[in-house]
């Protein structure tokens, strides 16, 4: 199942497009349309940077966001202060089951970044999750002809630690494997205006391939069997995500403990799904004691399709900023 939010900042998008109708040049507004900056006449100074407004590392420093209401990276007065950012947790509550994977789409710069963009949380990312993120990144970039920057934002030259980031929030609070994808063209740009509003034909094929790779990562229909062709059952979680949400407020101020708790639930609840997705990257290995097999193969006929499908539910969320 694929969920698409075409734009998380629709008011600003509309304003930028309306400017084109008047001037034949698209606008360059970045923030939302919240009228917070009264000391500047520049239209771009108003608003809240939505990708600094999520409740992970919010306001932890002045490098990754700003308290200045006229700053390009103004974070807002409090986490989830804006209707646009409030819409994300509200939307997730409506879904029949949580997304397996989420891509937050931005322009521009050709990069695939994974949590944590907030450097203060980087040490809490255990080796298992780091391994999954790195393999997931390679899968998303499979067959892409251009070079992309990858990793965590703070470790990349020219970038910096970010606080209040959407992908960090989706991973930390909702246990969703999340990536920030900066679409083509490259950075630094030859023309900044054309970098934000490139001719569609120039980059649409590459962008489509990125999204197709993400779909494959999220939704490979697979079953797992051992070397004796015996099916592995889906690991049972001791606690489902709804129960996890009850504990979220209790753990909100205990970053390390809360993070470990959520990752534990993530691994137990979604280990089948993640193995399923990342199997696109691994060769079958008899030395591992199991192999991961496409459901569309002849193995599918050995199992009841309905029971298999119910055990491998997954979905992907695409959100445009």
Q: Which residues are catalytic?
A: 182
Q: Which tokens go with 212?
A: 């197709």
CA angle 5, 82, 84 (to 5 degrees): 10
Residue 66 pairs in a beta bridge with: 74
What is the rounded CA–CA span in Å between residue 305 and residue 149?
40
Q: Which tokens go with 119?
A: 């450097």
> Can you give the C-alpha Rg of the chain in angstroms?
21
What is the rounded CA–CA span in Å between residue 48 and residue 172?
22
Spatial CB neighbours of 212, under 8 Å, sequence gap ≥ 6: none
What is the rounded CA–CA span in Å between residue 263 and residue 260?
5
Separate counts of helices (H) and strands (E) for the chain: 9, 8
Distance of CA 75 to the CA centre of its chain: 19
Residue 167, helix vs strand vs coil: helix
């Amino acid at each position: 199942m694929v969920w698409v939010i075409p734009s998380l900042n629709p008011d600003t998008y509309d304003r930028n497009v309306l400017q084109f109708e008047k001037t034949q040049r698209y606008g360059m507004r970045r923030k939302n349309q919240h009228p917070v900056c009264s000391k500047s006449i520049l239209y771009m100074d108003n608003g809240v940077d939505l990708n600094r407004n999520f409740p992970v590392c919010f306001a932890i420093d002045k490098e990754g966001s700003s308290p200045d209401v006229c700053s390009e990276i103004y974070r807002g007065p409090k986490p989830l202060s804006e209707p646009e950012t409030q819409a994300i947790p509200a939307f997730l509550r409506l879904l029949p089951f949580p997304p397996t994977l989420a891509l937050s789409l931005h322009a521009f710069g050709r990069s695939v970044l994974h949590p944590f963009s907030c450097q203060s949380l980087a040490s809490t990312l255990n080796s298992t999750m780091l391994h999954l993120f790195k393999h997931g990144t390679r899968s998303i970039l499979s067959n892409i002809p251009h070079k992309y920057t990858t990793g965590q934002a703070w470790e990349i030259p020219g970038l910096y630690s970010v606080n209040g980031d959407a992908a960090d929030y989706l991973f930390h609070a909702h246990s969703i494997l999340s990536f920030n994808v900066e679409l083509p063209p490259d950075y630094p740009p030859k023309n900044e205006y054309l970098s934000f509003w490139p001719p569609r034909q120039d980059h649409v094929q590459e962008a489509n391939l990125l999204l197709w790779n993400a779909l494959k990562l999220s939704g490979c229909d697979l079953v797992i069997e051992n070397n004796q062709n015996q099916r592995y059952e889906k690991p049972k979680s001791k606690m489902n995500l709804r129960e996890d949400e009850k504990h979220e407020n209790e753990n909100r101020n205990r970053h390390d403990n809360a993070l470990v708790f959520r990752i534990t639930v993530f691994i137990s609840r979604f280990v089948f799904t993640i193995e399923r997705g990342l199997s696109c990257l691994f060769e079958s290995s008899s030395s591992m004691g199991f192999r991961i097999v496409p459901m569309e193969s002849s193995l599918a006929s050995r199992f009841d399709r309905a029971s298999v499908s119910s055990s491998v539910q997954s979905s992907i969320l695409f959100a445009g900023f």
